[in-house]
Amino acid sequence: MLQELDAMSGSIVKQQDAAAGRESKRIVLVVAGPTASGKSALALAVAEKFGGTVINADSMQVYRELRILSNRPTPEQEARAPHRLFGILSATEACSAAHWRSLALAEIATAHDTGQVPVVTGGTGLYLKALIEGLSAIPDIPLDLRSELRRRLVEGGAVTLHDELSRRDPTAAGRLQPGDSQRVLRALEVFEATGRSITEFQGRFMAPPPGLHYATILLRPPRVQLYATCDSRLISMVDAGVVNEIRRLRSAGVDPNLPIMKALGMKEFGAHLDGHRSMEEALKDAQQSTRRYAKRQTTWFKNQNIADFYINEQYSERNSDKLFAFIRQKVLTTTE
């Protein structure tokens, strides 16, 4: 059942009407939720119904080499409505939240300029928060520096990097535990790249651009239903040739520290390719990892305050009429 979390005063969007002297508000519809919740299907259905452009907010679907493993829309689905930021980057590139945000804002502006409704969809929470709420103004880190520091992390461990951070940036080091490898790594790479403490950048904020108004729909399927869909999706990926897709990527000699190599299922199916796990074992491992990831996403979205409305089930044609009626009434209504 569709539920409204917060009462909204007036409509979210006001179409510009010079004669009536109305104000134009540029709406961005966001479709969020854990993996396998039906986000992509809903976003496509909305784009078809209301004349929209689907804009990707999934950190793995930006890579062209992983259509199967990332569950990217098929060419047939992409032909049904405009799709943006899907498969746009090479595996050798690293995409940060800041970089994705700049790309997404450009696509949102283009959609508005061409009379389309921007429909942003994906489960990468950091991307969505960066878009809706803004983020710290930390510059992108050069890929070679990031790879070098990750290599040193693997070889020397987090404590060694923390000791180095203490010498280079004692302020940041004093706020971090030696075993917090990812934050220690982040603080050190920022200092190495800029010569300045990460704490300086955290005090500077890239605010959302003015004039954009977000309406976020969150899909929250029951756990049993969500997990069953995760499991069946992995089976479909295997049938579609995901192992060969991973084999081709690995044979290309892509740096294992790059983001694409951390894709969900990469480790498990890679173990099969290396002869450490049978296909059946790798599939079960990948299913378990996906279920755990979906659980983390569900918890993350539950703890955030980005949803305007939510629906406690997966998207399907069964609930599309109610959902479309809601979007039409609450998101696309014009009022004085």
Instruction: Give per-residue pLDDT as tens, 134-143.
Output: 877 677 778 7
The pLDDT of residue 3 is 38
Closest CA to 111 of 54, 73, 33: 54
Query: For residue 330, what pLDDT is reported?
Result: 67
DSSP 331: I
How many residues are given for the chain?
336
Which tokens is 190 given? 């920022």
- All residue ranges of the chain with pLDDT < 50 are 1-23, 334-336
Q: How much is the pLDDT for 17?
A: 35
Give CATH superfamily name and number for 2-136+210-331. P-loop containing nucleotide triphosphate hydrolases (3.40.50.300)
Give 143-203's CATH code, choosing from 1.10.20.140, 1.10.20.60, 1.10.357.10, 2.40.33.20: 1.10.20.140
Give the Cα separation of 73 and 219 in Å (integer): 18
Distance in angstroms (rounded) separating the CA atoms of residues 161 and 164: 5
pLDDT of residue 85: 98
- The token pair that represents 55 in the structure block: 């804009």
pLDDT, position 13? 32
What secondary structure does DSSP assign to 47-92, as a single string? HHHHTEEEEE--TTTTBTT-TTTTTPPPHHHHTTS-EESSS-B-TT
Amino acid symbol at 107: E
The domain locations on the chain are 2-136+210-331, 143-203
29 sits in the region (left: phi over 0; alpha: psi -120 to 50; else beta) called beta
List the one residue out of 103, 90, 94 whose CA is nearest residue 130.
103
Topology agreement, domain 2-136+210-331 and domain 143-203: no
Q: State residue 204's pLDDT score.
A: 65
Residue 65's pLDDT is what?
A: 96
